[in-house]
Amino acid sequence: MTAERDRPDTMSVDGEIRSLLARVAQLADAGDIDEYISQFTDDAVWAMPANPLMGMAASTRQGHQEILEGVRERRAGGVQGPGTNTRHVITTVAVEVQDDTHATARSYYLFLGDTTTTPTLRTMGQYDDAFVRGERGWQLAHRTITLG
């Protein structure tokens, strides 16, 4: 049995992970891409299924460079980013803390467009995320996206 003093402060970690999820969503919508990518571990994995409604092919990207390519593609295509009037809404978050340096979370998301006129649900789904805490604090290490 783990001594009480050796257990991670799960409430504190829960709050930090929720804050990280919010930062990633907000930066995807309207933030600086360098700050956005700093939320991910250097070798992070981003796995996304095809989304025909948004004209996006399935892709798995690994590492900062590949994840940044995806961000740039979505911004260039007007899918998300500054000026697109889109919002990621993260909800129903369940965080599970494994230890002081590892945690996972499952959350639901809503992706809204036309937020300054007639907000429209463009897609929704689930994020299954893994997080690692290192020298730069908690970072997203692996995201699997499920539509629906």
CB burial readout 127-142, b (16+ within 10 A) else e:
bebbbbbeeeebbbbb
Amino acid at 121: L
Number of structural domains found in the chain: 1
pTM: 0.90
Residue 22 banded pLDDT, cuts 50, 70, 90: very high
Predicted pLDDT of residue 54: 76
Neighbouring CB atoms inside 10 A of 47's CB total 15
Structural domain of 57: 8-147
Token pair of 61, please? 């990207």
Q: What is the 3-state secondary structure (H, E, C) of 66-86?
A: HHHHHHHHHHHCCCCCCCCCC
Residue at 84 is within a domain: yes
Give the residue-averaged pLDDT of 3-22. 81
Helix locations, 31-131, DSSP H: 33-37, 63-76
* Portion of the chain with pLDDT greater than 90, in percent: 86
- Domain containing residue 15: CATH number: 3.10.450.50
